[in-house]
């Protein structure tokens, strides 16, 4: 794979430490199908860093699974809170009925049957 220089490209000088240059050379040798030169590697590195700063990057599988697990947990908590809310409301309604008391003379069903 030959490096292609576009007409609209510009040159940038870069000063690196020897260890950094050795790391670049190491990764170029480990992934020859991706990069054939240090220039291609640095263009890819700059592009990836800009995407990272913009928040446009792929989450690793484990991180994504954990995020999905947390989202699922929040959905479970919201349904649990909804259930607790309905139980609490029905409990207060029952308590209001008990404290209000009942009057058998006002009960409609007893008057219809004719029984006390």
38-91 pLDDT per residue, tens: 999 999 999 999 998 998 877 777 888 888 999 999 988 888 898 999 999 998
**Residue 28: helix, strand or coil by DSSP?**
helix
Q: Where are the domains of the chain?
A: 18-53, 72-113
Q: What's the pLDDT score for residue 27? A: 92
pLDDT exceeds cutoff 90 at 24: yes
Output the average pLDDT for the chain: 82
Nearest to 24 by CA among 7, 10, 45, 51: 45
End-to-end CA distance of the chain: 99
Tell whether pTM > 0.85.
no
Measured from the Cβ of residue 72, the count of other Cβ atoms closer than 10 Å reads 10
**Residue 115: helix, strand or coil by DSSP?**
coil
Predicted confidence band at 1 (pLDDT cuts at 50, 70, 90)?
very low
Which residues 6+ apart lie within 8 Å of 39 measured at CB? 3
Token couple for 20: 């950094």
């Amino acid at each position: 794979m030959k490096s292609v220089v576009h007409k609209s490209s510009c040159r940038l000088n870069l000063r690196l430490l020897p260890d950094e240059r050795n790391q670049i050379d190491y990764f170029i040798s480990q992934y020859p199908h991706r990069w054939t030169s240090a220039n291609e590697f640095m263009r890819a590195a700059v592009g990836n860093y800009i995407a990272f700063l913009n928040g446009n990057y792929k989450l690793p599988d484990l991180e994504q699974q954990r995020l999905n697990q947390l989202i699922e947990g929040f959905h479970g908590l919201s349904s649990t809170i909804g259930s607790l809310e309905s139980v609490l409301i029905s409990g207060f309604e029952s308590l209001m009925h008990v404290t209000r008391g009942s009057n058998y003379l006002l009960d409609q069903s007893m008057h219809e049957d004719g029984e006390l």
